[in-house]
Structure 1
Amino acid sequence: MATIDTNGFIFLAGILLLVSILASSLTVRVGLPLLLVFLGMGMLAGEEGVGGLAFDNPNLAFFVGNLALAVILLDGGMRTKTSTFRVALWPSFSLATLGVVLTTTAVGSFAAWLLDVKLIYGLLLGAIVGSTDAAAVFNLLRNSGVNLNERVGGTLEIESGANDPMAILLVVMLTGLLQSSNHLGVLAFLGQMLQQFAIGGVAGLLGGKLLLLVLRKVPLVEGLYALLIISFGLAVFSGVNIIGGSGFLAVYLVGLTVGNGRIKQLESISQVMDGLAWLAQAGMFLLLGLLVTPSSLLIHGFEAVAIAAFLIFIARPVAVMICLLPFDFRWPERLYISWVGLRGAVPIVLALYPVIAGLTNSELLFEITFTVVLISLLLQGSTVAWMARWLKVVVPPAPAPTTSFSLIDDVSSHHSLELYEFLVQAESVRIPAAIVQNIPSETVSTPQLVALVRNQQPIVVNAETALKSGDRIWMLLHPEDVNDVALIFSQQSSGSFLLQNFFGEFAIRGDASLLDLAKVYGVSIEGIGEDDTAAELLQKQYGKSLVVGDRASFGNLRLTIREMKGNQIEVIGLKLQNK
Structure 2
Amino acid sequence: MEDVALKLAAIGVAGIGAQWLAWRLKLPAIVLLLLAGFIAGPLTGFLEPSTDFGEIYKPVVGLAVAIILFEGGLTLNFKEISETSKGVRRMILIAGPLTWLGALLAAHYVGGLVWPAAIVLGAILVVTGPTVIMPLLRSAQLKQRPAAMLRWEAIVNDPIGALFAVIAFEVFLATQSANGHGPGEIFLNVISAFAFAIVIGYAAGYLLSRAFIKGHIPDYLKAPVLFTTVLLLFAVSNMILEESGLLTVTVMGITLANTRIASLTEMRRFKETVTVLLVSGVFILLTAALDWETIQSLDWHALGFVLLLLFVIRPVAVTVATIGAGLTWQERLLVGWIAPRGIVAVAIAGLFGASLVGAGVDDGQRMIALTFAVVVGSILLHGFSLSPLSRILGLKTTNKPGVLLVGGSKWSTSLARRLQAMEIPVTIADANWNHLSEARLNDIPVHFGDVLSEHSHHHLALNKFSTLIAVTDNDAYNALVCTDFGPEMGRSHVFQIGAYKEKSERKALSFTLGGRQLMSPGISYSELEQKTHEGWTFQSTRITDEFTFEKFQNSRPDGTHIVLWRKPDGKLIPGKAIDDHQPQPKDVILSFAMAKPEKEAVKVQTEKKLPDPKLPE
TM-score range, shorter chain: 0.5 to 0.7
AA paired with 1:346? I
Pick aligned residue for 2:14 from 9, 19, 22: 19
Distance 1:327 1:85, change over 3 A: same
AA paired with 1:45? A
| C-alpha contact 1:38 1:282 (8 A) present in aligned 2 | yes
| C-alpha contact 2:563 2:575 (8 A) present in aligned 1 | no
Q: In the alignment, what sits opposite 2:129? A: 137
Q: Deviations over 1:432-484 (max 9, x none)?
A: 5x54799xxxxxxxx998947537988352523478345699xxxxxxxxxxx
Pick aligned residue for 1:65 from 55, 61, 67: 61
Q: Could you tell me how far apart the structure 1 residues matched to 2:49 and 2:246 are? A: 30
**CA apart distance, 1:43:** 2.6
| C-alpha contact 1:132 1:344 (8 A) present in aligned 2 | no
Pick aligned residue for 1:461 from 521, 524, 530: 524
Q: Could you tell me how far apart the structure 2 residues matched to 1:228 and 1:424 are? A: 35
Corresponding residue SS for 1:468: strand
| Higher RCO (CA < 8 A, seq sep 6+) | 1
Higher normalized helix content (fraction of residues): 2
Distance 1:467 1:216, change over 3 A: farther
**2:369 is the counterpart of 1:367:** yes
Distance 1:202 1:387, change over 3 A: farther
Pick aligned residue for 1:277 from 275, 293, 302: 275
Q: Deviations over 1:122-156 (max 9, x none)?
A: 5632531433476x623223444538654542233
Distance 1:243 1:398, change over 3 A: farther
Q: Could you tell me how far apart the structure 1 residues matched to 2:327 and 2:244 are? A: 29
Q: In the alignment, what sits opposite 2:316? A: 318
User: Bigger radius of gyration, 1 or 2?
Assistant: 2
Q: In the alignment, what sits opposite 1:296? A: 294
Corresponding residue SS for 1:51: coil
**2:42 is the counterpart of 1:36:** no
Corresponding residue SS for 2:123: coil
Taking the TM superposition and a 5 Å limit, the aligned residue runs for 1:561-576 are none
Distance 1:347 1:380, change over 3 A: farther
Scaled by the length of structure 1, the TM-score of the pair is 0.60
Scaled by the length of structure 2, the TM-score of the pair is 0.57
Q: Could you tell me how far apart the structure 1 residues matched to 2:390 and 2:200 are? A: 36
Q: Could you tell me how far apart the structure 1 residues matched to 2:475 and 2:163 are? A: 54
Q: Deviations over 1:392-435 (max 9, x none)?
A: 3889799599xxxxxxxxxxxxxx99xxxx999479x9x45x54
Q: Could you tell me how far apart the structure 1 residues matched to 2:384 and 2:363 are? A: 31
Distance 1:388 1:15, change over 3 A: farther
Q: Deviations over 1:155-203 (max 9, x none)?
A: 3321221132222332443476589864764x77776666666655555
AA paired with 1:461? S
**Identity of counterpart residues, as a percentage?**
18
| C-alpha contact 1:80 1:259 (8 A) present in aligned 2 | yes
Q: CA RMSD in A?
A: 4.7
**CA apart distance, 1:334:** 4.3
Q: In the alignment, what sits opposite 1:345? A: 347
AA paired with 1:454? Q
**CA apart distance, 1:87:** 4.0
Corresponding residue SS for 2:50: coil
Distance 1:380 1:349, change over 3 A: farther
Taking the TM superposition and a 5 Å limit, the aligned residue runs for 1:88-237 are 88=84, 102-114=98-110, 121-122=114-115, 124-132=117-125, 137-144=129-136, 146=138, 149=145, 150-174=148-172, 182=180, 185=183, 200=197, 203-218=200-215, 223-237=220-234
Q: In the alignment, what sits opposite 2:434? A: none
Any gaps of 5 or more consecutive residues in structure 1? 1-5, 402-415, 439-446, 474-493, 495-579
**CA apart distance, 1:218:** 3.6
Taking the TM superposition and a 5 Å limit, the aligned residue runs for 1:432-511 are 434-435=473-474, 451=500, 453-454=516-517, 459=522, 461-465=524-528, 468-469=563-564
